[in-house]
Chain A
Amino acid sequence: MFTTPLLSILKARTKQGYRTLGYPKGSPPPLSDRFLGRPVLLPGPCPDDCSRCVDSCPVDALAMRDKRLQLDMGLCLFCGACIEACPRGTIQFSQEFRLAAKDRESLVIRQAVSPVVALPAREETEAETAGILQRTSRQESQVVLLATDISKKFKRSFRLRQVSAGGCNACEADCNVLSTLAWDMGRFGIQFVASPRHADGILVTGPVTENMQIALEKTYKAVPSPKVVIAVGSCAIGGGPYKDHPEQNNGVNTFLPVDLYIPGCPPHPLTILEGLLRFLGRI
């Protein structure tokens, strides 16, 4: 049947409807029940002779310091290997998607040490775990203010030059998706721009490969001051799966001062958007 393009466009427009997310005014979009968000370490101490989780971690994000377990979210691939490795269920991942942090140190989660000497076996802790997970999901104290004097200047208009420096295209894709009408970060005045000259900062993905180091530095220099640097994904924060490879540099803070860290492999778009909004002081 013959239809004019204009009629078809209007027809499709009616069918597709209005789909921009209500977030942050409304509730965030539902996440998969299998989503791994902010890790939770149940109180220790862990048995002296157990290092199964530490051994299972592909990127050494877990470590035992002074008999306390610690997990570096900046390195974590959120693969869940440690969940399965731990015989006691000490490591859990909540549904908390708000993970962004201003300084590198805040990405490290440390285990509390309770007076109880050892946790009971896995089955008995399940109810207790559920309780702790639920509390963690709502713990506002962990979600600190990120806005700085500089970042507040960009509250109503924030332009970013994205630089992929060895990223696998997953972080890139989940940054890109924020420009689609579903997320529409343009409504907050946030935009990816084509030139560093038009930007207020750079958003870096990837571990910074040797081959991209010069291009990254040049791009940073081309951004007018004051400027910010945002590291998105475990590669940009600490090298990710390529940590300690000689072909890369273990992340962007090796060269440049990072103002905002957004962990994940890759971070969920919601994690990125929430981090940016909190950074600008908009939520």
Chain B
Amino acid sequence: MQNGESIPLNAIPKLDFFHFKAALTEGVAKGSRIAGLWAVPSGYEYTLFSALLDPASRTLEVLSSTVEKTYPSLTPDLPCVHWFERDLAERLGMIPQGHPWLKPIRFYRGEAGKVEFFRVEGEEIHEVAVGPVHAGVIEPGHFRFQCQGERVIHLEISLGYQHRGVERALMGGPHRRSIHYAETLAGDTTIGHGTAYATLIEGLSGRKPSLYAEWVRAIALELERLANHIGDIGALSGDIGFLPTQSYCGRIRGDVLNLTALLCGNRFGRNLVRPGGVRYRIEQERLDTLRKRLKQIEEDTSSAIELFFETPSVRSRLEGTGVVPAATAKELGLVGLAARASGVPTDARRDVPWGYYRTQAPSLSVHSTGDCFARAYVRWMEIQESFRFLFLITESIPEESSGEDALLPGDLGSTHLPLDPESFCIALTEGWRGEIVHLAATNQEGKFAWYRVFDPSFHNWFGLAYAMREGEISDFPLCNKSFNLSYCGHDL
């Protein structure tokens, strides 16, 4: 199926577990990625679903299989589903037999962090515990390091502190709050998640947005990417102790956020994307202002970031730190810029384009070294590409197909769009961190029977843990910033 396409729920192929597993392993061997693995209880059994993304054919394949509570784990053959199976075990009490360690990932019943951590024993081994409250102004999570001297043998990341019950609350929807859940799944990715949610509703309701609306969304999504990437390079610079770029990028990030506010009044793009369209128009005058300010921002950014990369002490701190080789990135199923920095060419804007990206997409930014340098450099490449893309698509306003389609009418809760009953839809967008997946099925009344969200952080947290192996504990801030993953997007 296509990105954002809706199909009847019973049209999802049902395979026996043997063929289900074979389809997944063969698909991954041939270059597909597992965009999601989830299950729904049915009686005493469970229906296990998986979505395979095939970049070659630009399609998604959704499969299902009925399994019992205890079933043979897929993780030994497909390490990239290890986190998904931990989710199944925690959420539904399923027992994927053969999974190395089924620990909770979100702690739905409170008591986050109360878990047995992986421990390295030995005379010279010490343990370092960090969080949930961190030193900076950031979200909570717990990190447990097993170290020998400065050397980190193992890092375990325990999350769930941000769990606020979004998927549960979405069931029975859409209702007045649904779009606000989407926009705050990860507050720094409001447009990415908001667009994925809107695309899903549009698929299930058959109400396609106009090209104009898709154009506005694409502009906002690239601005979101710019703001976060620029901010991240500034933050990396701060962790290296190179203050000029930190100071400049911190400010420039705000300049980009103010451009998003120019579009919709909110610096994070709240209330811009709505199912069926967008809430604000970009008039010619506003577009001119946007381009003018973007030009100035581009100049400031180049000056700040070129300085960063041409400074030898900066490069030497980044190079070789926190390496994730390409093979490992593939095996772990990393997505987004972390994958691209390890030489894995994945980008939903090209692999399964949606909305405006079906007409044109930014080019892929890939680097091969998989270290902190690569994750910083891929950001810089993407910053330049987003600037180029934004200038290109803002040259003129696309012709509005018709007045009524362009803007969304008043109903913000989008409860006015009736959804097809007993249907399934999957919608992907490429947020600045990577691939965002929203998927849902409707019941007989056209309400959400279940809803799942996979933020890119869901795939990538383990990548950070891996990157720290054999590193020094002082590399952690740098590695952490180079991934800059979302806690709330993971914890939901």
Q: Which residues of A does B touch, CB under 8 Å?
A: 3, 5, 8-9, 12-13, 15-16, 19, 31-36, 56-59, 77-81, 84-85, 161-177, 179-182, 192, 194-196, 206-207, 209-213, 215, 219, 240-242, 245-248, 265-266, 268-269
| A164 touching B140 in the complex, CB below 8 Å, given contacts A5-B312, A80-B271 | yes
B492 to chain A, nearest CB (A): 10
Are A181 and B165 neighbours in the complex by a CB distance under 8 Å?
Answer: no
Are B164 and A166 neighbours in the complex by a CB distance under 8 Å?
Answer: yes
Are A206 and B162 neighbours in the complex by a CB distance under 8 Å?
Answer: yes
Tell me the B361-410 residues at the A interface (CB within 8 Å).
410
Are B186 and A12 neighbours in the complex by a CB distance under 8 Å?
Answer: no
* A residues near B258, Cβ cutoff 8 Å: 32
Tell me the B270-294 residues at the A interface (CB within 8 Å).
270-271, 279-280
Task: Please classify the interface of chain B as helix (H, G, I), strand (E, B), loop, or mixed, using the class held by over half of its residues.
Answer: loop
Q: What separation, in Å, do the CA atoms of A162 and B262 have in the docked complex?
A: 29
Known pairs A8-B310, A245-B165 / 7 extra A-B pairs, C-beta < 8 Å: A34-B265, A79-B180, A170-B188, A175-B137, A177-B250, A196-B133, A241-B181
Our pick among A32, A58, A182, A196 for the contact of B413 (Cβ within 8 Å) is A58
Residue B428, interface by CB 8 Å = no
Q: What separation, in Å, do the CA atoms of A246 and B164 have in the docked complex?
A: 8
| A56 touching B413 in the complex, CB below 8 Å, given contacts A12-B307, A172-B139 | yes
* A residues near B265, Cβ cutoff 8 Å: 32-36
Q: What separation, in Å, do the CA atoms of A172 and B186 have in the docked complex?
A: 12
Q: What separation, in Å, do the CA atoms of A241 and B270 have in the docked complex?
A: 13
Most buried by A among B161, B263, B411, B486: B161
How many chain B residues have a CB neighbour from A under 8 Å? 70
Residue B431, interface by CB 8 Å = no
Over the window 161-194 of chain B, the binary record of Cβ atoms lying under 8 Å from chain A Cβ atoms (1 yes, 0 no) is: 1111110110000001100110011111010000
* A residues near B304, Cβ cutoff 8 Å: 12, 16
Query: Of all chain B residues, which has the CB nearest A19?
Result: B251
| A211 touching B162 in the complex, CB below 8 Å, given contacts A32-B261, A181-B247, A182-B251 | yes
Our pick among B107, B133, B303, B410 for the contact of A215 (Cβ within 8 Å) is B133
* B residues near A31, Cβ cutoff 8 Å: 261
B4 to chain A, nearest CB (A): 24
* A residues near B140, Cβ cutoff 8 Å: 163-165, 212, 215
Tell me the B105-163 residues at the A interface (CB within 8 Å).
107-108, 110-113, 132-133, 135-140, 160-163
Q: What separation, in Å, do the CA atoms of A34 and B164 have in the docked complex?
A: 30
- A–B Cβ pairs within 8 angstroms, 13 of them: A34-B263, A56-B176, A79-B270, A163-B133, A164-B138, A165-B161, A168-B186, A170-B187, A177-B254, A196-B133, A211-B111, A219-B133, A241-B177
B244 to chain A, nearest CB (A): 6
* A residues near B263, Cβ cutoff 8 Å: 34
Q: Which residues of B does A touch, CB under 8 Å?
A: 107-108, 110-113, 132-133, 135-140, 160-166, 168-169, 176-177, 180-181, 184-188, 190, 231, 244, 247-248, 250-251, 253-254, 258, 261-268, 270-271, 279-280, 300, 303-304, 307, 310-313, 410-413, 486-488, 491
Are A182 and B139 neighbours in the complex by a CB distance under 8 Å?
Answer: no
Closest 9 CB pairs of A and B: A170-B187, A168-B187, A34-B265, A180-B250, A211-B112, A194-B135, A84-B410, A247-B165, A81-B412
* B residues near A170, Cβ cutoff 8 Å: 184, 187-188, 190, 268
Q: What separation, in Å, do the CA atoms of A177 and B256 have in the docked complex?
A: 13
* B residues near A268, Cβ cutoff 8 Å: 267
Are A248 and B262 neighbours in the complex by a CB distance under 8 Å?
Answer: no
Are B162 and A172 neighbours in the complex by a CB distance under 8 Å?
Answer: no
Q: What separation, in Å, do the CA atoms of A280 and B138 have in the docked complex?
A: 24
Query: Of all chain B residues, which has the CB nearest A83?
Result: B410
Q: What separation, in Å, do the CA atoms of A210 and B112 have in the docked complex?
A: 9
Are B161 and A211 neighbours in the complex by a CB distance under 8 Å?
Answer: yes
Q: What separation, in Å, do the CA atoms of A266 and B279 have in the docked complex?
A: 19
* A residues near B187, Cβ cutoff 8 Å: 167-173, 266
* B residues near A248, Cβ cutoff 8 Å: 164-165
| A215 touching B488 in the complex, CB below 8 Å, given contacts A170-B190, A176-B137, A177-B250 | no
Are A167 and B165 neighbours in the complex by a CB distance under 8 Å?
Answer: no
Are A194 and B136 neighbours in the complex by a CB distance under 8 Å?
Answer: yes
* B residues near A166, Cβ cutoff 8 Å: 161-164, 488
* B residues near A212, Cβ cutoff 8 Å: 112, 132, 140, 161-162
* A residues near B247, Cβ cutoff 8 Å: 16, 180-181
Are B313 and A5 neighbours in the complex by a CB distance under 8 Å?
Answer: yes
Most buried by B among A36, A163, A211, A248: A211
| A169 touching B133 in the complex, CB below 8 Å, given contacts A56-B413, A211-B112, A211-B160 | no
Are A241 and B303 neighbours in the complex by a CB distance under 8 Å?
Answer: no
* A residues near B280, Cβ cutoff 8 Å: 34
B144 to chain A, nearest CB (A): 15
Our pick among B163, B169, B311 for the contact of A211 (Cβ within 8 Å) is B163
* A residues near B231, Cβ cutoff 8 Å: 173
* A residues near B312, Cβ cutoff 8 Å: 5
Our pick among B177, B188, B310 for the contact of A169 (Cβ within 8 Å) is B188
Q: What separation, in Å, do the CA atoms of A169 and B279 have in the docked complex?
A: 23
* B residues near A171, Cβ cutoff 8 Å: 187
Our pick among A9, A245, A269 for the contact of B164 (Cβ within 8 Å) is A245
B264 to chain A, nearest CB (A): 6
Are A181 and B250 neighbours in the complex by a CB distance under 8 Å?
Answer: yes
Q: What separation, in Å, do the CA atoms of A138 and B251 have in the docked complex?
A: 29
